[in-house]
């Protein structure tokens, strides 16, 4: 009996379990963690740059547990992100698409891990008081850096090139990793930057990155809540405001109107606000949700965080004291846009 059981466990499945099967869903869940991990450990970049790697050698070079490394690649192979032959790992049929979306997986499985793990607790009304959920702000900043690079940055650069006002000082609201300010300071010599974020841990990381880039004399940081900033002498010189992937934190509507108005008061010399964000989608059938959308919307509902639709955004600027000059669409994530507000 023991031998028969052992033999059965070694028989390969004739066809891989499809996405609609329990095994397919189960394996995809494990693979989601493996994708975020393989990216953070450098495996996805190495496979992308060199076409493949030797997992045993990879484990040695990165001082990783051998069995865990082998299993991580097994999880990737289960969903055809890679193929495996002996210790050789190569890009599989799903690699390219998953590589482009790697930061979304990381955001979900590493940045939002605790939120989803606590889903049964978080959903109970009795528990939804105070700080009732936890996420990992440093991991979220890490993922956002890549989401920006792929999705928002090309459209952001276009927005800057077409701005019809000069700016010598910029403040980035919800600056996270500080990457936007670093890129701006590199592109615009002499530009001064101020990063504002509510998460002290993200700011500590951002400061390290700014020092490493040799830009500490031009980029500073302030811990604060962008919804209700306290006056700071540094705010008076700011001519351009940027705010990416946090604008929805200004909502619900009444609060957002108040925050937008307050930004005008507290940054009296800001000529433009470039606001890039992802909105709640409408009307996409559940089985047709594109990558990220489902996770983004479920996470915000779990957190009790309002997520406005694009229509709701369009209808708020005037009341908030800003004039929308342009709305530039961003392809991925679905329902993303950069507003140029004056
Ligand atoms: C999704 S991340 C985006 C980070 C960065 N803007 C980027 O484009 O990579 C959102 C950031 O906004 C910050 N944040 C959220 N609510 C905030 C608030 N009310 N005031 C200031 N920062 C906030 C978070 O701590 C986090 O660093």
Taking 90 as the threshold, does the pLDDT of residue 6 lie above it?
no
Whether pLDDT at 173 is above 70: yes
What's the Cα-to-Cα distance from 328 to each of 152, 306, 317, rounded to whole Å? 10, 22, 15
Residue 117 pLDDT > 90: yes
Residues 242, 248, 250, CA angle at the centre, nearest 5°? 80
Q: Answer whether 277's CB lies under 8 Å from 332's CB.
A: no
Q: Measured between alpha carbons, how far is 214 from 97 in angstroms, rounded to an integer?
A: 35
**Residue 6 Cα to ligand 1 middle (Å):** 51
**245: phi > 0 → left, psi -120 to 50 → alpha, else beta; which?**
left
Q: How far does residue 285's CA lie from ligand 1's centre (Å)?
A: 29
In this prediction, residue 280 carries a pLDDT of 98
Bridge partner list, 243: 173, 275
Question: Ligand 1: which residues within 6 Å by Cβ?
Answer: 137, 140-141, 144-145, 148, 174-177, 180, 196-199, 202, 225-227, 244-246, 249
Q: Which atom of ligand 1 is nearest to the CA of 250?
A: 19
pLDDT at position 8 over 50: no
CA-147 nearest atom, ligand 1: 9
Checking if the pLDDT of 7 tops 60, the result is no
Task: Compute the C-alpha angle 98/104/107, nearest 5°.
Answer: 140
CA distance 56 to 323: 57
Task: Write the residue with the smallest CA distance to atom 23 of ligand 1.
Answer: 174
Q: Is the pLDDT of residue 94 over 70?
A: yes
Nearest C-alpha to atom 9 of ligand 1 is from which residue? 144
Q: How far is the CA of 244 from the centre of ligand 1 (A)?
A: 8
Q: For residue 276, which atom of ligand 1 is closest to its CA? A: 8
The residue contributing the CA closest to ligand 1 atom 4 is 176
Over residues 145-158, the mean pLDDT reads 94
Quick one: average pLDDT of 93-104? 97
How far does residue 168's CA lie from ligand 1's centre (Å)?
A: 23
Q: What is the mean pLDDT of residues 227-251?
A: 96
| Predicted confidence (pLDDT) per residue in 50-93, tens digit | 999 999 999 999 999 999 999 999 999 999 999 999 999 999 99
Q: Which of 107, 120, 144, 93 is nearest to 32 (CA)?
A: 107
**Rounded CA gap, 207 and 215, in Å?**
10
Q: What is the mean pLDDT of residues 200-219?
A: 95
Residue of higher predicted confidence among 299 and 14: 299
Average pLDDT, the chain: 94
Confidence of residue 136 (pLDDT cuts 50, 70, 90): very high
**1-5, 270-274, 317-321: least confident range:** 1-5
- Distance between CA 174 and CA 79 in Å, rounded? 35
| CA 284–ligand 1 middle distance (angstroms) | 27
Tokens of 224: 């604060």
Residue 251 burial (CB count, 10 A): 20
How far, in Å, is the centroid of ligand 1 from the Cα of 98?
Answer: 25
* DSSP H or E stretch at residue 197: strand 192-197
How close is the Cα of 268 to the center of ligand 1, in Å? 22
Residue-wise pLDDT for 244-277, tens only, equals: 999 999 999 999 999 999 999 999 999 999 999 9
What per-residue confidence (pLDDT) applies to 78? 97
Residue 32 backbone dihedrals phi, psi, to 5 degrees: -55, -45
- Pure H helices in the chain: 2-10, 22-40, 43-50, 55-61, 66-78, 95-100, 102-106, 113-117, 119-122, 137-147, 153-161, 179-187, 200-212, 253-266, 293-303, 310-314
Sort 180 into a burial class: Cβ within 10 Å, 0-12 / 13-18 / 19+.
buried
List, for residues 33-53, the tens digit of each pLDDT value: 999 999 999 999 999 999 999
What is the 124 CA–ligand 1 centroid distance (Å)? 26
Atom of ligand 1 nearest to the CA of 243: 6
Compute the distance between CA of residue 204 and CA of residue 193 in angstroms, rounded to an integer.
16
Distance separating alpha carbons of residues 131 and 202, to the nearest angstrom: 18
For residue 10, the model assigns a pLDDT of: 56
DSSP per-residue codes, 310-330: HHHHHTTTTTTT--EEEEEEE
Q: Cβ distance 278 to 249 under 8 Å?
A: no
Whether residue 331 is predicted with pLDDT greater than 60 in this model: the reply is yes
Asked if 342 and 272 touch (Cβ cutoff 8 Å), the reply is: yes
Q: How confident is the model at residue 20 (pLDDT cuts 50, 70, 90)?
A: confident
Residue with the smallest CA separation from ligand 1 atom 14 is 174
Q: How confident is the model at residue 210 (pLDDT cuts 50, 70, 90)?
A: very high
């Amino acid at each position: 009996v023991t031998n028969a059981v052992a033999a059965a466990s070694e028989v390969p499945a004739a066809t891989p379990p499809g996405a609609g099967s329990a095994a397919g869903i189960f394996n995809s869940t494990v693979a989601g963690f493996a994708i975020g991990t393989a990216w953070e450990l450098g495996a996805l970049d190495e496979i992308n740059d060199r076409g493949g790697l030797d997992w045993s050698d990879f484990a040695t070079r990165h001082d990783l547990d051998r069995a865990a490394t082998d299993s991580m690649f097994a999880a990737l192979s289960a969903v055809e992100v890679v193929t495996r032959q002996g210790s050789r790992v190569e890009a599989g049929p799903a690699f390219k698409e998953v590589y482009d979306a790697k930061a979304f997986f990381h955001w979900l499985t590493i940045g939002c891990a605790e939120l989803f793990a606590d889903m049964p607790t978080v959903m109970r009304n009795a528990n939804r008081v105070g700080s009732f959920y936890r996420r990992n702000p440093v991991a979220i900043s890490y993922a956002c850096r890549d989401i920006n690079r792929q999705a928002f940055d090309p459209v952001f650069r276009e927005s800057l090139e077409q701005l019809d006002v000069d700016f010598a000082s910029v403040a980035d609201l919800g600056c996270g990793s500080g990457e936007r300010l670093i890129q701006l300071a590199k592109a615009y010599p002499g530009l001064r930057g101020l990063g504002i974020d509510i998460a002290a841990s993200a700011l500590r990381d951002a400061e390290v990155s700014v020092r490493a880039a040799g830009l500490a004399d031009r980029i500073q940081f302030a811990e604060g809540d962008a919804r209700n900033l306290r006056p700071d002498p540094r705010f008076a010189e700011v001519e351009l405001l940027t705010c990416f992937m946090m604008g929805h934190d200004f909502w619900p509507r009444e609060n957002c109107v108040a925050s937008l108005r307050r930004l005008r008061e507290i940054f009296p010399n800001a000529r433009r606000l470039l606001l890039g964000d992802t909105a709640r989608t409408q009307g996409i059938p559940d089985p047709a949700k594109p990558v990220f959308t489902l996770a983004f919307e479920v996470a915000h509902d779990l957190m009790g965080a309002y997520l406005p639709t694009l229509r709701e955004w369009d209808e708020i600027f005037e009341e908030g004291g800003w004039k929308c000059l342009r709305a530039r669409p961003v392809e991925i994530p679905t329902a993303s846009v950069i507003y140029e507000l004056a």
